Amino acid sequence: MAKPTLTAVRGMNDIFPPETIAWQQLEQSFRSVLSRYGCAEIRLPIVEQSALFARAIGDVTDIVQKEMYTFADRNGDSLTLRPEGTAGVVRALIEHGGLRGQTPRLYYLGPMFRHERPQRGRYRQFHQLGVEFFGIASASADAEIIALSARLLAAAGIPAQLQLNSLGTPESRASYREILLQYLRPQAEKLCGDCQERLERNPLRVLDCKVESCQLVAKDAPQLLQHLDPESAAHFSLLQELLQGMGIAYVINPRLVRGLDYYHRTVFEWVAEGLGSQGTVLAGGRYDGLVEQLGGPETPAIGFALGMERILALRALAQLAEADAVPALFLGALDDAALTAVFRQAEGLRANGLSVVVAGPGSVKSLLKQAQRSAARYQVLVGAADLAAGDVLLKEQEGQGEWRGPWDELHRGLTALGVDFT
């Protein structure tokens, strides 16, 4: 076959069944965990004004400088496909007064867009489940949201390591920045091109650069944790106490700095093995200044987002989904006269929770072929003559199970062969 000329955009994936079934199952189990933590869903536009992201994520970040899908719409307004969800949630809460005297706990699920170099686990359109807690300054919110993140990963069956750090306040970070620059400047030529370029703009990013020569330099760099203000230090130690109390294991990674500028104090990532350099399956942190920075009331906040593609890549996808993708019953009509009866039967069974596929009218040979392709567990082929005679034959496709009986009592036959209608 010739290669199609119209293809999906690079880094943006089509998702077919049975993979879609695995997505739905995962989303469902995540929603059930989220409701146990009092979180409710918010749905937001995928497109926002470009200025929102520049202000929220930070002008000097890679996301804003290099990765956004930004375009002028027909009015000439600069719009951007959202590269993440936090900025939009904050914008919406401020716009609709959702923070007045309230402490919302919100989650969102949907596509995000970043023009990164695609590779396994890194795409240009990817999907996040994000959670944001507003209004609680205490480290108790940090501990609770981390416990929630641990439970989500457990629900997905993903073993991962929790890495923690504190970035302090903007003030303590600014004085640390000078200390770090004094250490990095004399070694600038050892850094990768990207880090040399961002050294003066955003020296903290050098600390978590994945390039080996940068890691060698970062290894002996002065640590931000040694330069925290006393309040941030107390906040960080309360968080650790609470995590230990819940039995949640973590490692402190003093070089964890995150790629978005809005973080204050706690930052964290869950890192799994098996995806190479794209092993961060979930990441987040506290962003106490952001609501005010975007024009809202002073509001502490903390959140995270997990990457759906990364989580799903770590699960044995197809196997898991197969069982649910397969219908229970194939109903084939041998002639026009039987088709109405087949449709009525199928609707009745579906109303009782059974998954049914209908086909016909067609010959025995063609219906048997279709039944086999559907992989349904059971099949019935029925024509006007069988309906007139009263009895039909229900057969297991793979096994030996059979039931012969009245068409109107097919549900009884299915029960006899082991279908559970409850």
Here's the x/- map for ligand HAM, 302-331, by CB under 6 A: it reads as: -xxxxx-xx---------------------
Kindly indicate which of the ranges 121-129, 158-166, 184-192, 213-221 contains the residues binding ligand HAM, using the contact rule CB under 6 A.
121-129
CA contacts within 13 A on the Cβ side of 391: 5
For ligand HAM, the nearest residue by Cβ is: 307
Kindly indicate which of the ranges 35-43, 152-160, 298-306, 337-345 contains the residues binding ligand HAM, using the contact rule CB under 6 A.
298-306
CB of residue 332 to ligand HAM, shortest distance in Å = 43
Cβ-based burial of 97 (10 A; exposed 0-12, middle 13-18, buried ≥19): exposed
Kindly indicate which of the ranges 32-40, 70-78, 119-127, 410-418 contains the residues binding ligand HAM, using the contact rule CB under 6 A.
119-127
Answer yes or no whether residue 144 interacts with ligand HAM by CB under 6 A.
Answer: no
CB of residue 348 to ligand HAM, shortest distance in Å = 44
Q: Which of 50, 128, 253, 345 binds ligand HAM (CB under 6 A)?
A: 128
Answer yes or no whether residue 299 interacts with ligand HAM by CB under 6 A.
Answer: no
Specify the residue, 126 or 407, whose C-beta has the smaller distance to ligand HAM. Answer: 126
Q: Are 156 and 315 in contact (CB under 8 A)?
A: yes
Answer yes or no whether residue 149 interacts with ligand HAM by CB under 6 A.
Answer: no
Kindly indicate which of the ranges 81-89, 97-105, 149-157, 241-249 contains the residues binding ligand HAM, using the contact rule CB under 6 A.
81-89
Q: Which of 23, 108, 123, 236 binds ligand HAM (CB under 6 A)?
A: 123
| Residue ranges that bind ligand HAM, judged by CB under 6 A | 84-86, 114, 116, 122-123, 126, 128, 130, 132, 259-260, 280-285, 287, 303-307, 309-310
